Amino acid sequence: MTIEHGNFSVSRTIAASPASVFRAFADEDLKRAWFLNPHLSASDYALDFRVGGGERGRFTMTEGPATGIHENATTYFDIKPDERIVYAYSMSWDGRVHSTSLATVELTSTEAGTRLDYTEAGVFFEGSDGAEMRQGGMEALIDALVATFK
């Protein structure tokens, strides 16, 4: 049995205020607009954005090498409005947990809007996508967030 540990960071500048970017994480309808992959069927998604609350999603991929049911389970540990979000999440594929991560989102006001710094430390179990693929996936999600403000 082997595991992989991986850490990565993603930074983007978003043409919006920190309060607006924060709302895109906190409001379920706004988060659905950028977080839910349009190529996946979301059979269940809920957001309870508060310390101790969580986020749950169940998605079905019908094509490609990752065909199956994917689930994420998130717990929020620290929320400082318009500045910081700290959460842990696990991901499973067809009922088997394949990764667990701790993530931090930091929002800083800039002349151009908001600098978003995302940092993740993950443990990737056998059959996982691994840190490199996860970073690519998070970059795509954050790029989708950036696009909602264009």
Range of the domain at 106: 4-38+79-147
Give the pLDDT confidence of 29-73 residue by residue, as tens digits: 999 889 887 666 666 889 999 999 999 999 888 887 778 898 999
Asked, for residue 49, whether it belongs to a domain, the answer is no
The total number of structural domains that make up the chain: 1
Asked, for residue 69, whether it belongs to a domain, the answer is no
Mean pLDDT by 10-residue block, N- to C-terminus, for the chain (150 residues)?
90 98 96 80 86 93 83 97 98 93 98 98 89 91 95
* List of residues 6+ apart from 38 with CB closer than 8 A: none
User: What was the pLDDT predicted at 102?
Assistant: 98
Asked, for residue 134, whether it belongs to a domain, the answer is yes
Q: What angle do CA 115, 119, 120 make, to 5 degrees?
A: 155
This prediction has a pTM of: 0.92
Q: What one-letter code names the amino acid at 54?
A: G
